[in-house]
Structure 1
Amino acid sequence: MARFSLLCQNRATEVKNRATMSSPDAVLQSLQAHPDGLNISELLGLHPDIPRRTLQRWLAVLVTQRKVRTAGAARARRYIAIFTDPHEHGGDRFPAHIPLSADSRDILAYVDQPLTARNPVGYQRDFLDAYQPNKTRYLSEPVRRQLHAMGDTGQIERPAGTYGRAILDRLLIDLSWASSHLEGNTYSRLDTRELIEHGQAATGKAAAETQMILNHKAAIELLVDNADLVDFNRHTLLNLHAALSENLLSNPADEGRPRQHRVEIGKSVYRPPETPARIAEELDLLLDKLARISDPFEQSFFAMVHLPYLQPFADVNKRTSRLAANLPLIRANLCPLTFLGVPEQAYSRAILGVYELTRVELLRDLYLWAYERSTQEYLAIKQELAEPDPMRLAWRQRIRETVRQVVLQADSNPLDVIRNSLTDLASEEERKEVADLIIEELRRLHEGVLARYGLRPAEFQHWREKQR
């Protein structure tokens, strides 16, 4: 553990240094995290400390070294990382560029053995029983300080979910794509953007892949829109699972419901609990402990550990845990954990360490590395975010309810619906200001934001046709 603490301190120093100084290696790592490549402007946004000419010179060197290739010309030129080692991208070896403690390497050595060399093991109740909220710590105090420093958005004191709402458009794309990618989804990030922003499904992709992306979008919106209301309880978790699993399970009755049957874990000797009564009992205990953890990062990491370990659902357990891990971060207005650039072979091994050894060190190292990458991606957004409109924030719920009513009452005059919705406001000036905000929302209404208002595409299309 002393070596691990030293590793964390060293990495904290590295993070601080990177905030003021980038390098060609840092640029290459950013490109490796974006398989579709980045243009000059996007790279400058990720590395604002690098002068444009210096960045261009570094990129030219990387191209000469055959570490990077170009696509497109002039302003459309993108720089794409070249993976010369098949294990670096999509291979089956734990990536060497992710720093690991000695404990993590021990776990990796065990889970890298053939199945026949690993001991079959069942669910260990002691693993959960031993954890005492706010006394037991999977993340040490230095590690938590490091994470808070990396994730600070400058909006910690604002109402829950303020930062998440401000970056929602970007978060929907990044987290939907990266989390789906960990499940083998072949959508590119550009495909994901087209689907989320314009409702355009990628050609040649399976329907299940499209559904998976859209389910992530719905689940993220559920978390962000209700950040000030939701907590870790059965209602939140079941509805989060329902959103992520919609139209993807062989039995639709399993959506949003604790599993009623046995499941097996592929490529693992771990066997989760089987009886519905035991699963329900363990889930209640897990959620009780989870809800009582005070630190958002400890709470986030606990969700990533124990939800997959219990396997409370028939499927979609890891996806549910990854989004649940973002709930405390979104509520605390911290940078989200998007999983951008996280290799599947690293994530799957880290989870195997929890399954088969009930050890968290490998997943903890990966969590730290992944969160550092996520915050680097969002540094430019943190610097450029405009201050939230206080009027829009104060009347957010009324605005959304009224927009919904205008669309659902497609045969009525929109202005009449708006006036009727605001009759209880005391001041004529206030009614006018809120009405203007509602009209602005209606003008910007499109398919990609319908879930925000509880609307369906057919309802939106019917309303649009009525306005012509």
Structure 2
Amino acid sequence: MPAHLLTSIQSTPAGLTLAELLAQHPAVARRTAQRWLGQLVADGRVAAQGAGRARRYIARGARVAAAAVDRFPASIPLSADSLDVLAYVDQPLQARKPVGYQRDFLDTYQPNVTWYLSAPLRRQLHKMGHTAQADAPAGTYSRAILNRLLIDLSWASSQLEGNTYSRLDTRALIEHGQVAQGKAAMETQMILNHKTAIELLVANVEGSAGTAGFDRYTLLNLHAALAENLLPNPADEGRIRQHGVQIGKSVFRPLSVPQQVDEALALVLHKAGQIADPFEQSFFMLVHVPYLQPFADINKRTSRLAANLPLFRANLCPLTFVDVPEAAYSRAILGVYELTRVELLRDVFVWAYERSTQEYLAIKQDLAEPDPTRLAYRDVIKQTLHAVVTHPGEAALARITQAVATRVPEPDRAAVQALVVDELRRLHEGVLARYGLRPSEFVAWKAGTADALLSNK
């Protein structure tokens, strides 16, 4: 009998997906759960909403509560234009006109001439996001807040995709490699992928030598980091899609010809790179990457992280999407998809950025300055650590001493060697990507050299 599944569904007003149900009831086989859910739907005790992996099962008595949860939040102030967009996308699917990708929406945008964000609004955003590191080398602020940023942005962006990890769960996973109990493997992978992708952006934007920009290489690799182990076809990770896609709960039909998608993406990146204002750049990517749907999936996640790149460069507060309701974000994106109108997304963007800045400016006094030695010898530390772990049969301290002596001036050698040892002692599975390591290499190292090194305190 599926009574225990029904109890779980009834206790969650917004309903549960199949993956969420299986996470709560790991002893139930997937096919069995599907059969029981079909029976509950047929009996009229549960309603199924949505399609595919996004389908949610809602107890019939909870439908009113679920509708309230799905309502656009009144706490986000909207302009009259935004209310028009909201009124349209809130209509049933059958009342909205099917529409394809409108290339003119992109073609008519002229960088630094066309503005999605008005001059007064841009000034307001700059004032909100200003930090004490504004005149420091690019990426200084994002490095200083990296530990907090990894947790907030990974958690909030994943929540917008239905991930049920809590903020505390996310922190435990990112800082200690501790997987939350009762969560689907896909949810854990999503969080870790966000972490890797954020580290990729922050590492590449550092200082005047930063390489991350709005170019094909960065966007494709950002997508690959976010998509790792989450797509049905691994070949789609970091690759322009080779097939058509459909958008759930929308009448929008994206481009289906790969060559046209590729050409449009090249133009998106070219125009984004020409935009002078970091907030306009950020919003432009938030609009045009999901609208184009250049990848088989994970387009919105890619756009949310890409939208932070110009903010990292300018040492502005990040846009973490903390507290952004999915009901608000999804409707705002629908306005872009179906009407090529940005007003609703713009209002959500401004509200979300204000929430983000409140979080980060409130903790600015607690930010520790980056360790100058760790910063100056970042590459040496990473490469030495990688070499130690990938050669578990060799004497770790001897290898560290030799590497440091070869690449570090004598006055800094002791400090750098201590930093490498400290990094090794804190190494866990949640940070392996930072050092280019595979889990198997980490396990082999822990079984050998690690014990002697870690005990030598």
TM superposition score category, shorter chain reference: 0.7 to 0.9
Match of 1:454 among 436, 439, 443: 436
1:313 aligns to what SS in structure 2?
coil
Per-residue CA shift, 1:421-459, capped at 9, x if unaligned? Answer: 234457421333332332333333333332222222332
Distance 1:364 1:197 in 2: 33
Per-residue CA shift, 1:357-393, capped at 9, x if unaligned? Answer: 1111110000000011111111232121122222222
Offset at residue 159 of structure 1 (A): 2.5
Other-structure match for 2:293: 311
Match of 1:181 among 143, 146, 159: 159
Other-structure match for 1:255: 237
1:94 matches 2:72? yes
Instruction: State the one-letter code of the partner of 1:281.
Output: E
Q: How many residues align?
A: 383
Change (3 A) 1:407 1:272: same
Other-structure match for 1:465: 447
Instruction: State the one-letter code of the partner of 2:339.
Output: L
Match of 2:217 among 235, 238, 257: 235
Offset at residue 414 of structure 1 (A): 2.4
Change (3 A) 1:393 1:113: same
Give yes or no for contact 1:87–1:95 (8 Å, CA) kept in 2: no
Other-structure match for 1:333: 315
Distance 1:441 1:199 in 2: 15
Match of 2:403 among 411, 421, 442: 421
Match of 1:436 among 415, 418, 429: 418
Distance 1:197 1:456 in 2: 18
Match of 1:141 among 103, 108, 119: 119
Other-structure match for 2:91: 113
Distance 1:388 1:251 in 2: 40
Match of 1:385 among 320, 343, 367: 367
Other-structure match for 1:366: 348
1:309 aligns to what SS in structure 2?
helix
Instruction: State the one-letter code of the partner of 1:120.
Output: P
Change (3 A) 1:458 1:153: farther
Per-residue CA shift, 1:237-260, capped at 9, x if unaligned? Answer: 111111111111122211111111
Distance 2:277 2:431 in 1: 31
Query: Scaled by the length of structure 2, what TM-score is found?
Result: 0.80
Alignment map for 1:272-287 (pairs within 5 Å): 272-287=254-269
Distance 2:335 2:176 in 1: 40
Per-residue CA shift, 1:212-271, capped at 9, x if unaligned? Answer: 112111111111122222111111111111111111112221111111111111111111
Distance 2:388 2:130 in 1: 38
Instruction: State the one-letter code of the partner of 1:290.
Output: A
Which stretch shows the higher mean deviation, 178-187 or 192-201? 192-201
Alignment map for 1:64-213 (pairs within 5 Å): 86=65, 91-213=69-191
Which stretch shows the higher mean deviation, 436-445 or 394-403? 436-445
1:295 matches 2:280? no
Give yes or no for contact 1:221–1:451 (8 Å, CA) kept in 2: no
Instruction: State the one-letter code of the partner of 2:365.
Output: Q
Distance 2:93 2:211 in 1: 44
Offset at residue 313 of structure 1 (A): 0.8
Give yes or no for contact 1:92–1:345 (8 Å, CA) kept in 2: yes
Which stretch shows the higher mean deviation, 352-361 or 438-447? 438-447
Change (3 A) 1:158 1:464: farther
Identical-residue share of aligned pairs (%) = 70
Other-structure match for 2:10: none
1:422 aligns to what SS in structure 2?
helix
Distance 2:70 2:104 in 1: 32
Distance 1:246 1:427 in 2: 39
1:257 aligns to what SS in structure 2?
coil
Structure 2 regions of 5+ residues with no counterpart? 1-63, 452-457
Change (3 A) 1:427 1:212: closer
Offset at residue 153 of structure 1 (A): 2.2
Instruction: State the one-letter code of the partner of 1:386.
Output: A
Give yes or no for contact 1:232–1:290 (8 Å, CA) kept in 2: yes
Change (3 A) 1:218 1:427: closer
Other-structure match for 1:78: none
Give yes or no for contact 2:380–2:407 (8 Å, CA) kept in 1: no
Query: Scaled by the length of structure 1, what TM-score is found?
Result: 0.78
Distance 1:333 1:431 in 2: 31
Change (3 A) 1:201 1:439: closer
Distance 2:169 2:160 in 1: 16
1:226 aligns to what SS in structure 2?
helix
Offset at residue 86 of structure 1 (A): 4.5
Distance 2:133 2:180 in 1: 36
Distance 1:218 1:142 in 2: 35
Distance 1:131 1:407 in 2: 50
Change (3 A) 1:278 1:152: same
Change (3 A) 1:86 1:156: farther
Instruction: State the one-letter code of the partner of 2:168.
Output: L
Give yes or no for contact 1:175–1:339 (8 Å, CA) kept in 2: yes
Distance 1:416 1:157 in 2: 41
Distance 1:334 1:377 in 2: 13
Offset at residue 87 of structure 1 (A): 7.3
Cα RMSD, aligned residues only: 1.9
Instruction: State the one-letter code of the partner of 1:129.
Output: D
Distance 1:426 1:112 in 2: 61
